[in-house]
Amino acid sequence: MIEILALPAFDDNYIWLLRAAGCVAVVDPGDAVPVLGHLAKTGDRLCAIFATHHHGDHVGGIAELLDRFPVPVFGPALENIPGMTHPQSGGEHIEVPEIGVEFEVIAVPGHTRGHIAYYEPSLAGHGAVFCGDTLFGAGCGRLFEGTPAQMYLSLTRLAALPASTHVYCAHEYTQSNLRFAAAVEPGSIAVKQRSEHVAESRAAGRATIPTSIALELDTNPFLRWDAPAVRAAAASRLGHAPLDAVETFTAIREWKNHF
Ligand code: ZN
Ligand code: FE
């Protein structure tokens, strides 16, 4: 039985731990301190480190963890990841026998040029994807190194995963993202209901992550390039009807940058 734990870090990051039989794999340890705290408290040992991309809030703790635990480090081949032993470019399968998971690596460039996601199709019966700063609750990552067309393609890959898949992103941005989602689709009941639910969760100090592919398909404007209301919002930004889904996505992403 695998447990997935969120370790809050910095202002709004989550470091994800996958835990079974006294072993722990960690995704995006931007800070070593909470991870070492977990290991000290439980007596678990670290068995693998996974990085989705090179930003400091995702990899800043790796060197310190490696000082204590010389474990394999998986990360994007195109990026500079401290201590990386197993560079990945997408399409690979990674077995972590200690905790009994097998990840499939999905290339999701856009936020950074080599960004990858780790997908486990059978985890806890519904599947799970650890997607860093690509897909967020009701949002998506900023385009620092990639083009909108690249990010669009990356998001289509995540959107195509089974609807039941749980989405473990790296930031608690859902509530502010939903304010934007409501501006894009003011008539959406799904966005309104999710906003109410998320407001309750945050008021109670609960995480809004994991989310699911199904919920994102219903409420995330960055996956809803075919929805008439999203196309209409893009059209009003562009001054003409969007030619295709990429143009819709590009216009909505651009709007969010100034929202
Ligand atoms: Zn980032
Ligand atoms: Fe980040």
69: phi then psi, degrees, rounded to nearest 5 = -130, 100
Å from CA of 133 to ligand 1 middle: 5
What residues pack around ion ligand 1 (CB closer than 5 A)? 55, 133
pLDDT for the residue 165: 98
In the predicted structure, residue 1 carries a pLDDT above the cut 90: no
pLDDT for the residue 137: 98
In the predicted structure, residue 134 carries a pLDDT above the cut 90: yes
pLDDT for the residue 14: 98
Measured distance CA(106)–CA(14) in Å, rounded: 20
Angle 148-159/245-257 helices, nearest 10 degrees? 110
Å from CA of 73 to ligand 2 middle: 18
Inter-residue contact 59 to 27 (CB < 8 Å): no
CATH number of the domain where residue 131 is located: 3.60.15.10
Range of the domain at 99: 3-257
Q: What is the mean pLDDT of the chain?
A: 98
Confidence of residue 85 (pLDDT cuts 50, 70, 90): very high
What percent of the chain has a predicted confidence (pLDDT) above 70?
Answer: 100
DSSP reduced 3-state for 151: helix
pLDDT for the residue 71: 98
Å from CA of 222 to ligand 1 middle: 17
pLDDT for the residue 8: 98
Q: Which two tokens stand for residue 89?
A: 């470019």
For 175-196, what is each residue's pLDDT tens digit?
Answer: 999 999 999 999 999 999 999 9
Q: What is the number of structural domains in the chain?
A: 1
Nearest ligand by distance to the CA of 170: 2
Å from CA of 111 to ligand 1 middle: 7
Q: Which two tokens stand for residue 197?
A: 């639910």
- The position carrying tokens 């009994």 is 100
Q: What are the residue numbers of the active site?
A: 53, 55, 57-58, 111, 133, 171
In the predicted structure, residue 247 carries a pLDDT above the cut 90: yes
Confidence of residue 81 (pLDDT cuts 50, 70, 90): very high
Å from CA of 187 to ligand 2 middle: 31
Nearest ligand by distance to the CA of 28: 2
Nearest ligand by distance to the CA of 169: 2
For 89-117, what is each residue's pLDDT tens digit?
Answer: 999 999 999 999 999 999 999 999 999 99
pLDDT for the residue 226: 97
Å from CA of 172 to ligand 1 middle: 13
Inter-residue contact 126 to 109 (CB < 8 Å): no
For 10-22, what is each residue's pLDDT tens digit?
Answer: 999 999 999 999 9
